[in-house]
Each structure stands twice: as structure tokens, then as C-alpha cells.
Amino acid sequence: MNGKRNYAYKAMMEKNSKIYIAGHRGMVGSAVVRCLAKDGYNNLVFRPSKELNLTNQQAVELFFNKEKPEYVFIAAARVGGIYANNTYRAEFIYVNLQIQTNLIHASWKNNVKKLLFFSSSCVYPRNCPQPMKEEYLWTGILEPTNQPYAVAKLAGMETCQAYNDQYGTNFLSVIPTNLYGVNDNFDPQNSHVVAALIYKIQAAKAAKSPEVVLWGSGNPRRELMDVDDAADAALFIMNNYAGNCPINIGWGTDISIWELANLVGSVVGYKGRILFDKTKPDGAPQKLLEVNKLFSLGWKPAIVLEDGIKKAYKWYLDSLISYH
């Protein structure tokens, strides 16, 4: 694998291709596993963290030397909401840099045909023009609360591009919008917006509380996508796109937090009042991806927001029952 690759080349995975999914127990990775299995891919490889420490370079290289995967999805990461990102800043940059660098380097050394790295929309500047186009990367200051995580993700995308340039690899980066769904993290300290709203509003319903108070003004707007849609997009990109530029995954539409909270309240069946504490921070005023590049390839999302929230809420209730 020497020299620069012609980026018009597209590697199509066979149904029996050996595919490694890093982070298969997380929300994104588990969705990728479901999507691959649903589409008939039958040679999937994964390891739980207790068997393979992805921050250990030697362990990762031994795994690749033994298993020789042909295709790799990197969904493994240290993730969390605003509180976790801002509190565990050193962990977020160290762990994510270790994981992605070890996996990308081992993929090159073992002649992986194609790799897909999941980045994050937080890599865009805090005050990025909306909707956020791929060419807006690196054009401004990042959101301070999650800057270490964003820097790690930017480094992962740059690593993919650098290996493509120097070694002729076929390593892709995708930038998904805010995701939610099955296997989401509903911990109130670490959850993202949809899971946090489901947790808080369901707790208010269970306690028969007449009101629930949420952070911020409710005015910020967020684009949201069911994780199964994102996994489907990633599989489509793996099979239909080759290029050295990252590609956004999203709907191209957004909703205010106030509207989202009321939609979640309707799905949960909460009859009390939903209030906002404007003394609490809002975060970025808007995060909306420009998705023309993805849509022009022929892919479109299928799971509308209300249906996705119903599915996520059912999974959350089922997990509460199984836990207890």
C-alpha cells in the first residue's frame, strides 16, 4: 500500500467480508452491528473492553495481527454530555486519542481495505455559520466546554487523511449530528439531550410531580437523528463513498429544545408543566449540519423524530424493568 490512492475508488464490502466494529456495546457501535446483521453481513468481529483494551497499542496490534479484519468501523470513544466533557477534560482527550490512533495505525499495518471513523459535530467552531458545511472545519474557536473531546476527534479525522495521503489507505471520517436511541446513556450526569429529557420527564411522571424544570431558555435549536439511521448512513457511505474529505450525517433540519421537551413530554405521557431555568447555560444557539454531500450520493434518513423518541422511550422503560 504505497503511494497516493485514486479517491474515485470504492471498496464494496462482501457479505462474508471480515468486519471489525470497535465499540460494539455503545450506542453507535451496537447500531452498526444491528445494521450490518440486518443487511446480511455474517463475519462480524468485536471484543468487549475487558478482553481488548483499545488504549493499549500492543494489545490492539496483537488483535489485528491475529484477526486480520478487512473493514473497520471505529465507534469506540469516551463520550458524555456537557458536565462529563467539562469535568473529565484530561480523560476525554487522552483516552480518545489513544483509542483512535491505535486503531487507525493497526489498520494501516494490517492492510485494512477500508475504515470508517465516527467523529462528532462538536468539531465545528462554536459560532459556526448554519447549516455547518464540511468546509467550515478548522475555521474558528471550538466550544470551550467540550474542547478536549473535539480536539481528539479533529485529530482522528486528520489522522485518517494523513494516512490516506502518505500510505494510500482508504480511511473515511463521518460527522454525525446529535444522536439518540437504543443503548443511549440515560445517566443524568452524562447523558445527551434526548436521553436527558426522557430521564427527567419520566422521573417527574413517576413522582407525579406537577412540574419539571429543565436547564436553559429552551431556545437553542438542535438537529437530532435516531442512531439506527446514522448506522445505516455509515454502512451506505462505507459502500458508496471514497474520498479524503469528511462527510456529514444528519437530517438537515432542527428543532428548538422547547419544542423537543414538549414532544418528549407528549411521548412519555407527562401531564405536568415543563419549565425552563434561564439562569442555567444554553450551550451553542444552534447546531445544524449541511447534508447535501450525503444526500447527493443517494441516501436519506427514514426515522422521523417522534417515532425515534417513542422507540428510545420504550427501550429506556424496558431497560429499567430488566435492571430491576
- For the segment 55-69, what is each residue's pLDDT rounded down to a tens digit? 999 999 999 999 999
Give residue-wise pLDDT tens across range 310-319. Answer: 999 999 999 9
Give me the DSSP letters along 201-262: HHHHHHTT-SEEEEES-S--EE-EEEHHHHHHHHHHHHHH---SS-EEES-S--EEHHHHHH
**Is the confidence at residue 1, as pLDDT, over 60?**
no
Q: What phi and psi, each to the nearest 5 degrees, are found at residue 114? A: -155, 145
Would you say residue 159 lies in a domain?
yes
Q: Which residues are catalytic?
A: 149
Q: Which residues contact 112 (CB under 8 A, 6 or more apart)?
A: 69, 70, 71, 72, 169
Q: Is the pLDDT of residue 8 over 50?
A: no
Q: Domain containing 149 — which CATH number? A: 3.40.50.720
CA torsion sign, 54 to 56 to 57 to 61? negative
Domains in the chain: how many in total?
1
Q: Output the pLDDT for position 310.
A: 98
pTM for the whole thing?
A: 0.93
Q: Is residue 8 in some structural domain?
A: no
Is 32 exposed, middle or buried (CB count within 10 Å of its CB: 0-12, 13-18, 19+)?
buried
Is residue 246 included in any domain, yes or no?
Answer: yes
Per residue in 189-218, pLDDT (tens digit) is: 778 899 999 999 999 999 999 999 998 999
Calculate mean pLDDT across residues 166-171: 96
Residue 147: predicted pLDDT: 94
Structural domain containing residue 159: 19-183+224-252+286-303
Q: What pLDDT score does 320 carry?
A: 83
Task: State the pLDDT at residue 80.
Answer: 78
pLDDT reading at 296 higher than 50: yes
Q: 199 in a domain, yes or no? A: no
| Among 225, 133, 114, 129, residue whose Cα is nearest residue 173 | 114
Mean pLDDT calculated for residue range 17-31? 97
**287-305: average pLDDT:** 96
Establish if 237 belongs to a structural domain.
yes
In the chain the beta strands, taken as DSSP E runs, fall at 19-22, 44-45, 71-74, 114-118, 171-176, 178-180, 211-215, 221-222, 224-226, 247-249, 255-256, 273-277, 286-287
- Report, as an integer, the average pLDDT of 293-301: 96
Distance CA 251, CA 321 (A): 32
Mean pLDDT of 154-183: 97
Residue 85's pLDDT band, with cuts at 50, 70 and 90, is confident
Question: Is position 99 within any domain?
Answer: yes
pLDDT attached to residue 6: 44
Task: Assess if residue 228 is contained within a domain.
Answer: yes
Q: Residue 277 falls within a domain, yes or no?
A: no
**Does position 21 have pLDDT exceeding 80, yes or no?**
yes
Confidence of residue 7 (pLDDT cuts 50, 70, 90): very low
What mean pLDDT do residues 118-147 have? Answer: 95
pLDDT computed for residue 284 by the predictor = 78
Tell me the three cell numbers of residue 48. Answer: 468487549
Least confident interval from 38-47, 79-88, 98-107, 178-187: 79-88
